[in-house]
Amino acid sequence: MPINGSTYNYSSGSERQSDSAWSWWPSWRPTSMSLLKTAESKILACIQNDLWARFVTLPNQDRIWTLTLTNKAAHKEPGQATRTPLVMVHGFGGGVGLWIRNLDALSQSRPVYAFDLLGFGRSSRPTFPKDAAKAEEQFVTSIEQWRQSVGLENMILLGHSLGGYLATSYAIQYPSRVSHLILVDPWGFPERLQTNTEAGQRTEVVKRPTLPRWVKAVAAVVSLFNPLAVIRAAGPWGPGLVNRFRPDFKSKFEDLFDDDTMTQYIYHCNAQTPSGEVGFRAMSESLGWAKRPMLQRVHLLPHSIPLTMLYGEWSWVDNSSGDTVLQLRDQAPTRVMVINKASHHVYADQPEEFNRVVQNICSSVN
């Protein structure tokens, strides 16, 4: 299966300052954008529908790696070309390859777009600001500039984890472009601490068990570095590290690949010079909380935008945030659904059910 688009050569250079403390570790990393492209190509070879893969250039010359899928058998169906496209935004440390179980099914009746977020996967890796609001704005602006460059008037916007957080921020800022917002196990919604509120204001407090001192100590050390620095610090042992600590990525796709294709893909996505993860670090506090929790802003999402939140039954993401969103949006069209026997990566754990639910949502649009 041919993949259209020019070869993107990226020289990784030296690590960002926050990774410099790891310099005494092995400096050689068995990775490159070429190896990432090779791993991704093997994944995308599974796609049956028509695929157009290319870089979309933004006004500032950053490039967003983009997939467009259409159903070759449905080209002649009346209305197929006019149906609102589905745009899929991956989570932290991910890339377009992780949607491999979903792309064919979801593109049966409408175009599907998937892209690597700025700073992740094969997209450009620019410098991100250290300020949380500015880092978030850089992500969101890149999504809007991508939409303009691709030429989409509106879309069904689906985001997973970090992608869900950014998709919500995007929909708040550009509501006329979003026909339906689908959040899949979204990161960054709950508030970390009890806050004082004025009379009449609502707050949602998420409480977690008191952490042991050693966990807090480890978290304090890890917070000094970018989240995935250990993968790069491991040098030639990095791929094995991913296999050891994330064997689930292999098992979720084992019927498609009988080797380390998926863990190799994850490794090469995240062993490059950090960029998007620097932006994520700016937006997050220790242990994965968002500095700017989305529950504080979700009421700004216009009631005219239907919202569906999908959670995995076994996910580490607290789905009580979905119940809070239901109350905050009151009469606005909002649904919260739990996919049984699924963890955080709902789309890969239960792909058939996930695809069915998303297809039904899309059909409700047109």
CATH code where residue 360 lies: 3.40.50.1820
Q: For tokens 């957080």, what's the residue?
A: 165
Nearby residues of 330 by Cβ (< 8 Å), 6 or more positions away: none
Q: Residue 284 and residue 289: Cα distance in Å, rounded? A: 6
Per-residue pLDDT of the chain (366 residues; tens, 9 = 90+): 344 333 222 333 333 333 444 344 444 678 889 999 999 999 999 999 999 999 999 999 999 999 999 997 765 566 566 899 999 999 999 999 999 999 999 999 999 999 999 999 999 999 999 999 999 999 999 999 999 999 999 999 999 999 999 999 999 999 999 999 999 999 999 998 654 444 445 444 444 444 445 445 444 544 545 666 667 666 666 677 666 666 677 788 989 998 889 999 998 998 888 899 999 999 998 767 999 999 999 999 999 999 999 999 999 898 999 999 999 999 899 999 999 999 999 999 999 999 999 999 999 999
201 in any annotated domain: no
Q: Which amino acid is at 189?
A: F
Q: Residue 257 and residue 260: Cα distance in Å, rounded? A: 7
Q: Which residues pair with 155 in a beta bridge?
A: 178
Q: Residue 308 and residue 292: Cα distance in Å, rounded? A: 21
* pLDDT, tens only, 198-238: 444 544 444 444 444 544 544 454 454 566 666 766 666 66
25 in any annotated domain: no
Q: Give the structural domain span for 185.
A: 33-190+275-364
DSSP 12: -
Strands of 63-70's sheet in order across: 50-57, 63-70, 112-115, 86-89, 155-160, 178-184, 307-312, 334-339
H/E run at residue 2:
none
19 in any annotated domain: no
Nearby residues of 351 by Cβ (< 8 Å), 6 or more positions away: 101, 102, 105
Q: Residue 219 and residue 174: Cα distance in Å, rounded? A: 36
Beta strands in the chain (DSSP E): 50-57, 63-70, 86-89, 112-115, 155-160, 178-184, 307-312, 334-339
254 in any annotated domain: no
Q: Residue 366 and residue 362: Cα distance in Å, rounded? A: 7
205 in any annotated domain: no
Closest CA to 348 of 16, 99, 1: 99
Q: Residue 185 and residue 206: Cα distance in Å, rounded? A: 16
Q: Which amino acid is at 17?
A: Q
pTM for the model stands at 0.84
Map residue 361 onto helix, strand or coil.
helix
213 in any annotated domain: no
Closest CA to 64 of 32, 39, 87: 87
94 in any annotated domain: yes
DSSP 232: H
Q: Residue 69 and residue 159: Cα distance in Å, rounded? A: 17
Q: Which residues pair with 307 in a beta bridge?
A: 181, 334
Number of domains in the chain: 1
C-alpha neighbours within 13 Å on the C-beta side of residue 347: 27
Beta strands in 134-177 (DSSP E): 155-160
- β-pair type (63-70, 112-115): antiparallel
124 in any annotated domain: yes
201: burial class by Cβ within 10 Å (0-12, 13-18, 19+)?
Answer: exposed
Cβ 99 vs Cβ 65: under 8 Å? no
